[in-house]
Amino acid sequence: MTTPTTIRPQRTIVVTISILMSCVSAGLGGIGLWELSMAGFPDGHRTQYERMAHTPMFALAWLSIACSLYFLYLAVTAMRPRRGNRLLLAAIAYACIMPGLFLFLQYRLQHAADLVPSDDTARRLEAASR
């Protein structure tokens, strides 16, 4: 049987990790949204890659912010049983899935951008066909 003295340190650890994970995921989501807002800076010209990457990166950034809200929820409800297990599962899933999705999207979009001709190449091909 657990006594109040053994519950207190466990609860403190769960709350601390939940708050840290919430800060990290909110920070990563904010950085992602900030990078998207700076696309095309300073001249307003957005490359083909930036146009293709906007929607998936926007979704990843908001997913990261949603995860930060979930981690805050886990911190608030840390007294309930088995919240430590959910926190551990959510933290592992976030730590594995989000970087994997980010790297996969970077790789796929980079190669897709190589397949699509740039604006200069399209103009040259159009001029050559006249």
Bigger pLDDT: 60 vs 122: 60
- Read off the pTM: 0.69
Q: In 3D, which of 23, 30, 12, 29 has the Cα closest to residue 72?
A: 23
Q: Which has the closest alpha carbon to 25: 89, 98, 101?
A: 98
Q: Is pLDDT above 60 for 1?
A: no
Interior angle at CA 73, CA 71 and CA 77, nearest 5: 120
Cα(46)–Cα(120) distance, integer angstroms? 13
CA 10 remoteness from chain centre: 28
What are 32-80's pLDDT values in tens digits? 899 888 888 877 788 777 888 888 889 989 999 999 998 888 888 876 7
Tokens of 122: 């399209």
Q: Give me the number of domains the chain comprises.
A: 1
CB 108 within 8 A of CB 65: no
Distance CA 1, CA 114 (A): 62
pLDDT at 119: 64
Sequential DSSP letters for 30-43: HHHHHHHHTTTTTT
Containing structural domain, residue 66: 4-129
